[in-house]
Amino acid sequence: MDILDKITQFRMERNWTEYQLAEKSGLTQSTISSWYRKHMLPTIPSLMKICDAFGITLSQFFLEDGDNVILISEQQRQLLHHAAKLSPQQYEALLHFLKLI
């Protein structure tokens, strides 16, 4: 995977210039353009800022085309978070309740 190509792909999908990406990520445009000019890779902290700007996780950034991703909503995440705290009996009761409604 070419990381710079992937950054360009995400940027183009959003119709962003390098300047817009710099603004949204908190990085300088000169930093971003130097990666391309010098064929350098961004550091992990810089890549995390880029991902934050794109609204994706680092894991999502490194997904290859064709990888299946299931995105969950904030409400679903909260439900899973609370369900993980239940005892086995409580969890079974919750499942039974959900099947009834």
The domain ranges of the chain are: 3-61, 70-101
Q: How far apart are CA 78 and CA 76, in angstroms?
A: 5
Q: Where are the alpha helices (DSSP H) in the chain?
A: 3-13, 18-25, 29-37, 44-54, 58-61, 74-83, 88-100
Query: Full-prediction pTM beyond 0.75?
Result: no
Per-residue confidence band for 90, with pLDDT thresholds at 50, 70 and 90: very high
Question: Per residue in 3-40, pLDDT tens?
Answer: 999 999 999 999 999 999 999 999 999 999 999 999 99
Check residue 69 and give its pLDDT: 59
Q: How far apart are CA 85 and CA 70, in angstroms?
A: 22
Multiple choice CATH, 3-61, 1.10.260.40, 1.10.10.10, 3.90.1530.10, 1.20.1600.10 = 1.10.260.40
Check residue 33 and give its pLDDT: 95
